Chains A and B, each alone.
Chain A
Amino acid sequence: MYTNNYVIVAIFVGLGIFLPVAALTIGKWLRPSKPIDPKLTTYESGNEPVGEGQIRFNIRYYLFALMFVIFDVETVFLYPWAVAYKKLGLFALVEMLIFVGLLAVGLLYAWKKKVLQWTSI
């Protein structure tokens, strides 16, 4: 019974290889071929491409990633708490508020140290 299933998988693999190869080959026979230089440039939504394809990202993005971590971590712990909220009751709510408050201090720190401005470093 399982052999049958594998036959189907094999047919799919065969078709999956055959179809793109056939489509590309037939396309190659039918289309006109006029290679010119501008056709080889990178496609950037119709604009003139600027600079290299592999660039360094600005280090300022790092600070945004760090800000993301604050909220990311917050959600990771808020989810299980929210799922069990009805069983946990008021004290757990207060605990969570303290937790969010601690993270807010982290955000306040970042704000005061001018991390939220683009020109900070």
Chain B
Amino acid sequence: MSITPYLTLAAILFCIGLYGALSKKNAIIVLLSIELMLNAVNLNLIAFAKYGPKPGLAGQIFSLFNITVAAAEVAVGIAILINLYRNRGTTDVTDMDTMKR
């Protein structure tokens, strides 16, 4: 089994996530896109751990840590977003411009 398809899929996922995080207007979608990027990394790690030149368990353990950290991160992100929505009444990231540039 070759590793290339997995790495390609991970790269595509990562790029979609990066594009979404940088271009989408809805803040929830932005957070979702970040999750997509992190999942691309998990895919990469697991592919390397199974089919890489030097297979081993460390990659799978690393991806477990990634999953938990990503969950914590997005939980905090949504909490902040809810607070922002209460104060401003919008989840549109283009409206987040109260501070001077």
Q: How many residues of A contact B (CB 8 A)?
A: 10
**Docked-complex contact A62 and B68, CB < 8 angstroms:** no
In the complex, whether B72 has a CB less than 8 A from a CB of chain A is: yes
* Contact among B61, B67, B72, B78 for A62, CB-based, below 8 A: B78
**Docked-complex contact A62 and B71, CB < 8 angstroms:** no
Q: In the complex the two chains form, what is the Cα distance from A77 to B67 in whole Å?
A: 11
**Docked-complex contact A80 and B64, CB < 8 angstroms:** yes
B67 CB contacts on chain A under 8 angstroms: 76
**Docked-complex contact B71 and A72, CB < 8 angstroms:** yes
Q: With contacts defined as CB atoms under 8 Å apart, how many contacts are there between chain A and chain B in the complex?
A: 20
In the complex, whether A73 has a CB less than 8 A from a CB of chain B is: yes
Question: Taking the nearest CB of chain A, how far is it from the CB of B50, in angstroms?
Answer: 16
**Docked-complex contact B71 and A69, CB < 8 angstroms:** yes
In the complex, whether B82 has a CB less than 8 A from a CB of chain A is: yes
In the complex, whether B75 has a CB less than 8 A from a CB of chain A is: yes
A77 CB contacts on chain B under 8 angstroms: 64, 68
Chain B's closest residue to A59 (CB) is B82
Q: In the complex the two chains form, what is the Cα distance from A76 to B70 in whole Å?
A: 13
A73 CB contacts on chain B under 8 angstroms: 68, 71-72
**Docked-complex contact A62 and B82, CB < 8 angstroms:** yes
Q: In the complex the two chains form, what is the Cα distance from A62 to B61 in whole Å?
A: 28
**Docked-complex contact A69 and B64, CB < 8 angstroms:** no
**Docked-complex contact B61 and A80, CB < 8 angstroms:** yes
A69 CB contacts on chain B under 8 angstroms: 71-72, 75
Chain A contact residues, CB within 8 Å of chain B = 59, 62, 65-66, 69, 72-73, 76-77, 80
